[in-house]
Structure 1
Amino acid sequence: MTIGLLGNKIGMTQIFDETGNIIPVTIIKVGPCTITQIKTVSKDGYNAIQIGYGEVSSLSLNQPELGHLRKSNIKPLRYLKEFRLDENIESFKIGQSLNVDSFSVGQLVNIQGKSIGKGFSGLQKRHNFTRGPMTHGSKNHRAPGSIGMGTTPGRVLPGKKMAGQLGNKTITVKKLKVIQSNSEENILVLKGSVPGKPGNLLSIVPFE
């Protein structure tokens, strides 16, 4: 795995290529991210780089979080994420700043983030169940029907499709192409859509 960056989704728009075709794109504010910890095989059992993103007031963090950052003389950061590395860990230093220059135009990246939460949803919307008859005295319109046996095993089996929370899950979209990159404003423009609403926290990792 290679090191990635954290950022926030700004929104979607469209741009035109050289031949006049419309390309749907997502604009992401990426970084700058700070390296907050370097883990090594000799000390931690594996190689990894921890980065922090989103500068906040010290009142927004608890004492263990503040102590972890103060140990490396780093300002309070809202989000921390770890990326495992197989090699080249010596090229990174604690306190080093990483920005959108880590990505190049034409590169493929993976985007991970929380999908839009849609609250408690029924079976038809959540699992595409077919509804029951709406006439002739039917009392089973959007009900689930039987959810288990009356005898052995006499219980509802795990994984049964039922009504419940829809959305608000971690989603990964792979192989999105970098269309534009602006290092002055730390803006990354990707072809296609990414999870979540505008402002959603995203993890951007080069595709391998």
Structure 2
Amino acid sequence: MVRYAFSKIGMTSTFTTNGSAQGVTVLKMQPARVLRHETLENGKVVVVVEYDTGHKNKLVRGWVVDNPAEYQVGSPLKAPSLNAGQKLKITGFSKGRGFQDAMTRHGFGGGPASHGSRFHRSPGSVGMRAEPGRVMKGKKMPGQDGNVQVTLRNVQVAYWSTEESVMAIVGGVPGARGGIVFV
């Protein structure tokens, strides 16, 4: 199935039918057109789609589909048929936070703040003694935080307008405002 690209507009709140407030993320569908069909070695067909994100460089992605005849080369992607309450899978990139220390990145508690402890924000002991005499792989250390692909499953549609191509999702969606997510 071809995935649809949406731009994250922002967050707001709506009211449910019983009157309780819920936070929603508003997404706007990006225009897209089919570029070409590619056949893989195993016989499956990939539909390559170009999304117009409003930037100089277009976003190009390919998806394996069961019936490639539905997607004519050069034709625009039709808006999906969605209903309020429907469950979806959303994939996007989380906000990048740059290089972070171990406390910020992994939530370490740190040491005492006073009485000359000299252990405040450091990660603590990281290595071992003579055997194996190295830092083990996967050790929680300072480094790049965020900017990783995040997939949310079973998120609920609160609102969908085919004419405006605007959707509201219950809860948060990965990424910053203006970021692209795939539904």
Q: TM-score, normalised by structure 1?
A: 0.79
> Structure 1 CA distance, aligned partners of 2:53 and 2:154?
29
Q: 95-104 or 7-16, which moves further after superposition? A: 95-104
Provide the C-alpha distance between the structure 1 equivalents of 2:139 and 2:82, rounded to a whole number of angstroms.
42
Counterpart in 2 of 1:143?
122
Q: 1:98 to 1:134 in 2, by over 3 A?
A: same
Runs of 4 or more, structure 1, over 6 Å off, are none
Following the alignment from structure 2 to structure 1, what is the Cα–Cα distance between the partners of residues 168 and 113? 48
- CA 17–181 in structure 1, closer or farther in 2 if over 3 Å, else same: same
Equivalent pair of 1:8/1:28 in contact (CA under 8 Å): yes
Query: What is the CA deviation profile of residues 133-158 of structure 1, one whole-angstrom value per residue up to 9, with x for unaligned ones?
Result: 22332111111222112423222222
Asked if structure 2 preserves the Cα contact closer than 8 Å seen for 1:30 and 1:99, the reply is no
The match for 1:181 among 149, 152, 160 is: 160
Separation (CA, whole Å) in 2 of partners of 1:189 and 1:56: 21
| Corresponding position of 2:175 | 196
Which structure 2 segments of 5+ residues have no match? none
Contact 1:31 1:99 in 2 (8 A): no
Deviation at 1:160, TM superposition (A): 0.9
Per-residue deviation, 1:55? 6.0
1:131-170 equivalent positions in 2, closer than 5 A: 131-170=110-149
Q: Which residue of 2 aligns with 1:109?
A: 88
Cα deviation, residue 114, structure 1: 1.1
Query: Aligned AA for 1:6?
Result: A
Deviation (angstroms), 1:123: 1.6
Q: How far does residue 16 in structure 1 lie from its aligned partner after superposition? A: 1.5
Classify the secondary structure of the residue corresponding to 1:83: strand
Displacement of 1:41: 4.4
> Counterparts of 2:23 and 2:86 in 1: how far apart (Å)?
17
- Residue pair 1:100, 1:187 contacting (<8 A) in 2 also: no
Q: Give the CA deviation at 1:170.
A: 1.0
| Percent of aligned pairs with the same amino acid | 34
CA deviation digits over 1:45-88, x for unaligned, max 9?
4322221111668xx45xxxxxxxxxxxxxxxx10112222x22
| Aligned position for 2:59 | 79
**TM-score normalised according to structure 2 size:** 0.88
Q: CA RMSD in A?
A: 2.1
Query: Equivalent of 1:47, from 45, 48, 65?
Result: 45
Aligned to 1:121: 100
> What secondary structure does 1:142 align onto?
coil
The secondary structure found in structure 2 opposite 1:100 is: coil
CA contact (8 A) 2:6 2:28 kept: yes
Shift of 1:96: 2.0
Count of residue pairs brought into register by the alignment: 183
Where structure 1 has 5 or more consecutive residues not aligned to the other structure, the ranges are 62-77
